[in-house]
Amino acid sequence: MKRLLPWLIRLAPLLLVAVCAILLVFLLQQGLGSLSPTLLFGNVPPLQAILGKAPVWEGLWPACAGTFCLVLLTQALALLPGLGCGIYLAEYASPKKAATISLAMDILAGTPSIVMGLFGFTLIVCLRQSFLPNANTSLLLSAACLSLLVLPVIVSSCCEALRALPRDLRITALALGLKKRTVVTRILLPQASQGLAAGLILALARSAEDTAVIMLTGAVANAGLPAGLWDKFEALPFAIYYTAGEYQNAQDLTRGFGAALLLLLLSILLVLIAHVLERRYLRQRQGTHAAGCSR
């Protein structure tokens, strides 16, 4: 028994690695062959597809473009509130206010994405019944709900990045007679930029992969390239979900695997970048992990 125990304990991580390896190999085996321009553009010449001159029916390009727009829009919507709230939490909030803000962020972080989606859905239903009878689920609504989803990620990483800065920096700058807001925006924020970037990239990854929110707020299977803020759109995760249930032939299925592989690689890449940035940032600051910024 004594001899066996270390080996029994080693079984647990081995099992996990094995399961993940099986899933990954399966995905690669099914999807790797399809990774080519055809996967994205079908039979349409890539340049024309990218410029939007020819519609793509047999490729993932509209879904990719949709996800791209969605992610950018989400980031644009969430950036200022997220940074502002993170700065306030780290630099200005009294303990009481900090408790309120972190409670709000904790609640938001714990809320399932489908509930965020429901929130967006409810919003549209309300608008339609009141003063915007033509309102419908759309790209903008999805992005708004997603920005709610990534808000806690941005807030907590912004707060953590600021708190990892040395205390001396703050005191020195204040002792020079600078106003606190100047210190924060001109000295602390640039110093913390690498940590901030890590948080933003994490938020990017989070908004790119979420499916439940966009399912309820405007993603559809055949919308073509995203036409505008008020239109329905295609997205990569939704395309994957849709393929699993509605595929017609082997070609559809292969495209589904290609899409899954693409999304997987994308989020792994983003998270790796964020990880490296964060490690570098914390090592530079020799920062112990700052406490108090809940995640």
Partner 1 sequence: MPGSKLLTLPHDKDSEADLWIKAATVLAVLAVIALCAMIVVAALPALFSQTHTPFEWVWQPYHGHFGILPMCASSLLLALSALIIAFPWALGIVIWHLTEEEPALSWARKAFGLFIRLLTTVPTVVLSFAAVFLLTPLLRTAFGGTGMCLLGATLMVSLLILPTMVLVMESGLAQPLERLCPQGLALGLSRYQLLCHCLLPQSRTTLLQAAVLGFGRACGDTLLPLMLAGNAPRLPLHLTDSTRTLSAHMALVTANEVGGAAYNSLFAAGLFLLGTTLCVTLALRRLARAKSSGSTV
Instruction: Pick the closer one to partner 1 by CB: 50 or 123.
Output: 123
The CA-CA-CA angle for residues 102, 107, 112, to 5°, reads: 145
Of 100, 111, 98, 103, the C-alpha closest to 145 is 111
**In this complex, which beta carbon is closest to partner 1, that of residue 38 or of residue 267?**
267
Closest by CA to 114, choosing from 204, 241, 245, 216, is: 216
Helix, strand, or coil here: 233? strand
Measured from the CB of residue 103, what is the shortest distance to partner 1 in angstroms? 7
CB of 101 to partner 1, least distance (A): 6
Nearest Cα residue to 219 out of 150, 124, 148, 141: 141
Min. distance of Cβ 81 from partner 1 in angstroms?
5
Q: Are 82 and 215 contacting, i.e. CB atoms less than 8 angstroms apart?
A: no
Q: Is 32 in the site for partner 1 (CB under 8 A)?
A: no
CA neighbor of 207 nearest in space, from 154, 243, 276, 136: 154
Site string for partner 1, 38-77 (x = CB under 8 A): ----------------------------------------
Per-residue binding string, partner 1, 214-243, x by CB under 8 A, is -xx--------------------x--xx-x
Shortest distance in whole angstroms from residue 33 CB to partner 1: 15
C-alpha count within 13 angstroms, C-beta hemisphere, residue 58: 13
Task: List the one residue out of 185, 205, 196 whose CA is nearest residue 282.
Answer: 196
Q: Interface with partner 1 includes 83 (CB under 8 A)?
A: yes
Task: Find the binder of partner 1 among 108, 127, 169, 197 (CB under 8 A).
Answer: 108
Q: How far is the CB of 48 from partner 1 (least distance, A)?
A: 29
Residues 155-174 that bind partner 1 (CB under 8 A): 155
- Residue number with CB closer to partner 1 (27 or 50): 27
Q: Do residues 43 and 251 touch, judged by C-beta distance below 8 A?
A: no
Of 43 and 185, which CB lies nearer to partner 1 in the complex structure? Answer: 185
Shortest separation between residue 294's beta carbon and partner 1, angstroms = 8
What's the CA gap between 55 and 62, in Å, rounded?
Answer: 9
Whichever of 107 and 227 has its CB closer to partner 1, that residue is 107
